[in-house]
A = this chain, B = another copy of it.
Amino acid sequence: MSSPAQKHDVFQAIADPTRREVLKLLSEKELPISEITAHFPMSRTAIAKHLHILSEAQLVSGRKVGREKRYRLQPESLTELKQWLTYFEQFWSNKLSILKHIVENKGGNELKVVQSEPEETE
């Protein structure tokens, strides 16, 4: 019941630059469609469609308040993307990817991060 073979997945949802901007907007605060539209050079209907797609991918959720519908960010679905990325990070290994590997493979462990004196980094 939780995986209804949805038409739009996260990867497709974030492929469009307008939709990525919408996500960024909504990350600041919940907004009604009309206010979101004000930030873009296109019609309200177009934005509504983008919101529908983002909603299908469960990246946003909308609630009706009075006569307006307010959308908010729902970032949890981005974990799918993150996991996908994690797989490839092992191929361009750097300090961060090593850390991530340890954390993700041994999630239950206690971790201590010890920072040394800040140095001049070019």
**Which A residues lie at the B interface, using CB under 8 A?**
11-12, 14-15, 17, 20, 23-24, 27, 73, 75-76, 78-79, 81-82, 84-85, 87-89, 91-92, 95-96, 99-100, 102-104, 106-116, 118-121
Residues of B within 8 A of A79 (CB): 92
The answer on a CB contact under 8 Å between A114 and B115 is: no
B contact residues around A15 at 8 Å (CB): 11-12, 14-15
**11 other contacts beyond A24-B87, A111-B115, with CB at 8 A cut-off?**
A11-B14, A14-B15, A75-B92, A78-B89, A78-B92, A99-B100, A99-B103, A102-B113, A102-B115, A108-B119, A110-B116
